[in-house]
Structure 1
Amino acid sequence: MPLSPRLSVLDLVPVRSGQSSSEALAASVALAQAADRLGFTRYWFAEHHNMPSVASTTPPVLIAATAARTERIRVGSGGVMLPNHAPLVVAEQFAALEALAPGRIDLGIGRAPGSDPVITQLLRVSGPTADVDRFPDHVADILSLLSPDGATLRLTSGREYPIQATPAATDVPELWLLGSSDYSARLAAELGLPYVFANHFSGEGLEQALDLYRTGYRPSERHPAPQTILTLNAVVADTVDEAEARALPQLRAMARLRLNRPMRPLETVEEAATAARDSDAEDVVARMRTRWVIGEADAAASAVRALAERHGIDEVMVAPIAGARADEPPDAAPGRVRTLELLAERLAA
């Protein structure tokens, strides 16, 4: 049964204390299978590097594995941080993914580094590819390279040199621009591309970014009208108390990040509940949670629906960040699965 509004999933592949990367990845694949079964539209993996609590370092690898283990749901990146990669490599990877799972691949592109300055330098050793100022050119390059006709490079000798991301493409991945500022909204509008606002990370400037995108939109052949996704952190459980308890590990982790403190694997629900009080962190948590959906099913579904209606959003992409209890299997994420189940149940059209 279709969901209204359309729902999708954003996954950073969280790693909790006592859990291996292998177990975290198994839990995420199982979550994707649940989303597939429940009628979610797409399942995206973020790109982050060198973080003790995040295993989504290589979206193309995770997309391939997940597409092979699901049947209907679109799978993609949310996103590939383009300054870290050569445009041709990105185009080749996603052309191959589209060939493996025709009609089910999304390429979400962002221009943030996805890590700290040291890792950024290690990722960007490729010279001019890492020039953030050339981001619009590199997006345009990928669009050309992914097309069935490919692109043409004019060499210094004057000779034209044809380039294709894959030899005989029959279709292309759907390309989205991600952002949390006016920059990406303006660029998506200029290129006639769908746009994702990263509300799960900040939420500041949402109304202005959407207005700039919609008023400046230039229709393209593939996307004659603007199309929007809004991301949202959510923890939904059978009771408010359970939702609050499962939200605390991620809230505390985000507070450490905002306060520039050392990161570590996510706490379990029990570890977060018994941790020493920290007034600075609690202040950050209090500010963040106002933008998150945390609660029981009916209230959470109403909040999601109201958010989509208030901003005219086509699709809400939920980051199900429910923490795990110490006695739950390390290769599963029951709290995250339950978040998706309850939202799908209440938002079924």
Structure 2
Amino acid sequence: MSERRPALSVLDLVPVRTDQTTGDAVGATLSLARAADDLGYRRYWLAEHHNMPAVAATNPPVLIGLVAGATSRIRVGSGGVMLPNHAPLVVAEQFALLEAAFPGRIDLGIGRAPGSDPVTSYALRHGAGGVSDEAVTHFPEYVDNVLAMMEPSGVGLAIQGRTYPLRATPQATSVPVTWLLGSSDYSARLAAEKGMPYVFAHHFSGSGTAEALALYRESFRPSPELAEPRTFLTVNAVVAETEEEAARLALPQLQSMLALRTGQELRPQRLVEEAEKVELPQPHLELMQQMAERWVIGAPDRARARIDELAATYGVDEVMVHPVAGAYTGTEPGASPAREETLRLLA
């Protein structure tokens, strides 16, 4: 009897190509989400990044509402909301309302990183010092506040000897499932301590995954919401009918990540033909190759086998695919056919 294959989910940063407007990129995301819904993917998460020319995922709650409204079954969530950028009450209100509108389908993934450069972080917090050390220091408290305020009973806020009731939404009947996200052992420890589900950013970091998951599992304390550790793996993926085609389609995103890692100018994601004309020094080519080796790039059978292998290696029953395939010149601006094909070929 063969082992059960891991469930598949989707992570989306709403990439913006050189041939797209923001509206085009959002349209492509909605098409991708509908494809994931039809193909039986478990969940669809949207990231939070700011002031990046190639990423339109600046506001997860807005995107979650759009995606949940365009789909019928799939769970939709944030991967994640960067909590130091936001007042806990605002996050609680947003996700309580989303859960009320789409009961049983909303995930709240919370991260501690700023998701942007220091100047943008400063602007996000109304010029009040950016993502200050205080916001990061109080992160565990802010997580508790979000969880408490989303509860149907709300919380009592003590001010000048009186207790004021505070609820994220008036008549909640359910709450989103809340996850902690991270790329270091900090969130692994915190999730274990609070008995929360946890995801390590394997797709971005590529190292430290095994150690973070082991720490989370070994330190986990059961909570009323979660009896045992719950996690999954994230991975960048480009799948096409042939290995050669997949390698071509991976090139634009590899160059975008190279620019990010080496401090180059960030720009909208190149089309495949544009990327193929770029000449890079040998050290940069070697760095791109190292990144590519950690991704899932290839034909369907080999790519799915690689995902199964990763799931077995890290002991997870779910893999969240970040479909990063690029597009060719002449592609419909409001579509990302190669990203949708990645999902279809893996399903």
Contact persistence 1:179–1:196 (CA under 8 A): yes
Residue in 2 that maps onto 1:166:
169
Residue in 2 that maps onto 1:93:
94
Contact persistence 1:256–1:281 (CA under 8 A): no
Q: Does 1:256 align with 2:254?
A: no
**Cα deviation per residue 1:146-182 (whole Å; 9 max; x = unaligned)?**
1111111111x22111110001100000100000110
Residue in 1 that maps onto 2:63:
62
**Cα deviation per residue 1:304-326 (whole Å; 9 max; x = unaligned)?**
00100111113111000000001
Contact persistence 2:5–2:317 (CA under 8 A): no
Partner amino acid for 1:163? Answer: L
Residue in 2 that maps onto 1:273:
276
Quote the Cα distance in structure 2 between the aligned partners of 1:244 and 1:139: 40
Residue in 1 that maps onto 2:338:
335
1:315 to 314, 318, 322: 318
Deviation of the 1:4 alpha carbon: 2.7
SS in structure 2 of the partner of residue 7 of structure 1: strand
Deviation of the 1:230 alpha carbon: 1.2
Quote the Cα distance in structure 2 between the aligned partners of 1:299 and 1:311: 18
TM-score, normalising length from structure 2?
A: 0.96
Partner amino acid for 1:72? Answer: R
Contact persistence 1:192–1:220 (CA under 8 A): yes
Q: How does 1:208-227 map to 2 (within 5 A)?
A: 208-227=211-230
Quote the Cα distance in structure 2 between the aligned partners of 1:16 and 1:316: 26
SS in structure 2 of the partner of residue 231 of structure 1: strand
Partner amino acid for 1:161? Answer: Y
Residue in 2 that maps onto 1:9:
10
Residue in 2 that maps onto 1:176:
179
SS in structure 2 of the partner of residue 13 of structure 1: coil
Partner amino acid for 1:88? Answer: L
2:152 to 133, 148, 154: 148
- Relative to structure 1, the CA distance from residue 98 to residue 126 in structure 2 (aligned partners, 3 Å threshold; closer, same or farther) is farther
SS in structure 2 of the partner of residue 261 of structure 1: coil
Contact persistence 1:192–1:226 (CA under 8 A): yes
Partner amino acid for 2:124? Answer: L
Partner amino acid for 2:142? Answer: H
Quote the Cα distance in structure 1 between the aligned partners of 2:277 and 2:78: 35
Q: Which structure 1 residue ranges, 4+ long, deviate > 2 Å from structure 2? A: 124-130, 277-281
SS in structure 1 of the partner of residue 10 of structure 2: strand
Q: Does 1:302 align with 2:305?
A: yes
Residue in 2 that maps onto 1:80:
81
SS in structure 2 of the partner of residue 319 of structure 1: strand
Quote the Cα distance in structure 2 between the aligned partners of 1:324 and 1:184: 35
Residue in 2 that maps onto 1:192:
195
Residue in 1 that maps onto 2:36:
35
Contact persistence 1:9–1:319 (CA under 8 A): yes
Residue in 2 that maps onto 1:120:
121
Can you give the 5+ residue segments of structure 1 that lack an aligned partner in the other structure?
A: 345-349
TM-score, normalising length from structure 1?
A: 0.96
Q: How big is the alpha-carbon RMSD for the aligned residues of Structure 1 and Structure 2?
A: 1.2
Deviation of the 1:127 alpha carbon: 4.8
SS in structure 1 of the partner of residue 226 of structure 2: coil
SS in structure 1 of the partner of residue 126 of structure 2: coil
SS in structure 1 of the partner of residue 227 of structure 2: coil
Quote the Cα distance in structure 1 between the aligned partners of 2:212 and 2:183: 8
Quote the Cα distance in structure 2 between the aligned partners of 1:316 and 1:161: 43
SS in structure 2 of the partner of residue 99 of structure 1: helix
Contact persistence 1:252–1:281 (CA under 8 A): no
2:244 to 241, 245, 260: 241
Quote the Cα distance in structure 1 between the aligned partners of 2:150 and 2:127: 21
Quote the Cα distance in structure 1 between the aligned partners of 2:126 and 2:227: 38
SS in structure 2 of the partner of residue 200 of structure 1: helix
Contact persistence 2:122–2:128 (CA under 8 A): no
Quote the Cα distance in structure 1 between the aligned partners of 2:328 and 2:276: 11
Can you give the 5+ residue segments of structure 2 that lack an aligned partner in the other structure?
A: none
Quote the Cα distance in structure 1 between the aligned partners of 2:163 and 2:111: 30
- Aligned length in residues: 341
Quote the Cα distance in structure 1 between the aligned partners of 2:291 and 2:70: 34
